[in-house]
A and B are shown apart, each in its own frame.
Chain A
Amino acid sequence: MTTAAPPQPLTVQGLTKSFDAKTVLNGVDLVVEPGTVLGLLGANGSGKTTLLKCVLGLLRPTDGSALVMGDNAWDLSAHTKASLGYVPQEVSSYPWMRVRQAIDYTAAFYPSWNHGLVADLCERWRLPLEERTGVLSVGQLQSLGIVLALGHEPSLLILDEPVASLDPLARRAFLRTLLDILESEDRTVIFSTHITSDLERVASQVAILREGQITYHGGLDQLKDQVKRLRITAKAPLPPAFAVPGALRTRIDGATATAAVSAFDPAVVDNLRHTWDVDVDVTDLNLEEIFVELHGG
């Protein structure tokens, strides 16, 4: 017996979005498999929010397509909408509503609202249920937004900078919850961030958005295995002709040089040792360092 494959959570092809003369997304291609935790990494203004809004059907693409669970993002079916969860960058709520009322109000839209999960999250994040949402701190408002997005247990959860306004403790609490909900089933999570240390804990995949295009998409582990820094030490000053094959950039300073490579190959290192009679140290880079190297240092 064969079972139908679950629909692809996200298939983006040639997605372009311009605002008047300004092109923000310039041919984005991105396919996300079920059960993936994808960290969307990009500098400020790289188009992360625009991409997520196109995927959610909140913005209409200028060109190209975005399919969410097989549905055109601009024309989502009620069923697909019910399996989507979204936390915007800035959570807004009716300021006169109490937290409890805001939750009940949202719950009323969904036939399958998990009241137990929501009560649990509110307790863990110490959300003041009787407080009016208008007086909540930014962090509390963000937590409320996440609770509201998780209540119907979406199969695709999209978070736009979910932790940017949270303090370190609240961020850690949020990451734990994210890890908790990942354990249960094949849920796909896409979250944009520029906080690389959070991404390193939870993401299985990374997509790097730069100048409106995806410049890397793949496993976080593979990325860390591929991008390395080489420290080269020679006995005499290195000649100007010295170069590391495939380097993003090479900086020579007398008898030492540093180079960052995006596709580490031990054979290249051996070759350097033998060709130039140098000592080569290979350093692992963390995601923040990789991000900086890939953006030209």
Chain B
Amino acid sequence: MSHPPEIFDIRPSAGPPIYRQLIDQARALIAGGRLKPGDYLPGVRRVAKYADVNPMTVSKAYAQLESDGVVERVPGQGMQVCAPRTTGSLAQRRAQFRAAAQPAFHHAHQLGLSPDDIRRVLDDLLKEYQP
């Protein structure tokens, strides 16, 4: 299905650049299941008009999502959400996750948590997590 531009909440005067707000929100909508594989992102001009921002900025965000393999350009249709896929070797994907998780460990250290405390939290998270 095709979505209205209102799925995005763009704040031009917030800190993150507008294109990054769009990328982050699109990824979050996909991760949260509101945008499903096969769905279309709202058109560039509609988003630009709705949010009163430069259409070039919206195009830039969509192009980035396309080159990241999150969406696919379907001629005459728009930007279609891709099915999730795994790219890279297991070792590479592990390294990616490691980089994402590292700041959390530092934070845990700041909070004075022991390795056992950290393990307990991780186990809980793994049990609760449902993709």
Contacts and interface: CB of A to CB of B under 8 A. Distances in A.
B55 A233 contact: no
A72 interface: no
B57 A204 contact: yes
Contacts of B17: 220-221, 224-225
A174 B48 CA distance: 15
A222 to B, nearest CB: 8
Interface residues of A, number: 29
A286 B52 contact: no
Interface stretch (A9-17, A145-153, A277-285): A277-285
Which of B13, B48, B107 has most A Cβ within 10 Å?
B13
Given A37-B54, A182-B54, A200 B48 contact: no
Nearest to B11: A286
Contact of B110 (A183, A203, A233, A287): A233
A179 B55 CA distance: 8
Given A200-B18, A201-B53, A201-B54, A288 B13 contact: yes
Interface string B1-39: 000000000001111111110000000000000000000
Interface residues of B, number: 22
A224 B12 contact: no
A162 B7 CA distance: 32
Contacts of A182: 54-56
B110 A204 contact: no
Nearest to A176: B52
Interface of B: 12-20, 45, 48-49, 52-57, 60, 106-107, 110
The 3 closest A-B pairs by CB, nearest first: A284-B15, A221-B17, A200-B12
11 contacts: A176-B52, A179-B53, A183-B45, A200-B12, A202-B54, A204-B56, A221-B57, A284-B15, A285-B15, A287-B13, A288-B13
Interface of A: 37, 172, 175-176, 179, 182-183, 196-197, 200-204, 220-221, 224-225, 233, 235, 273, 279, 283-289
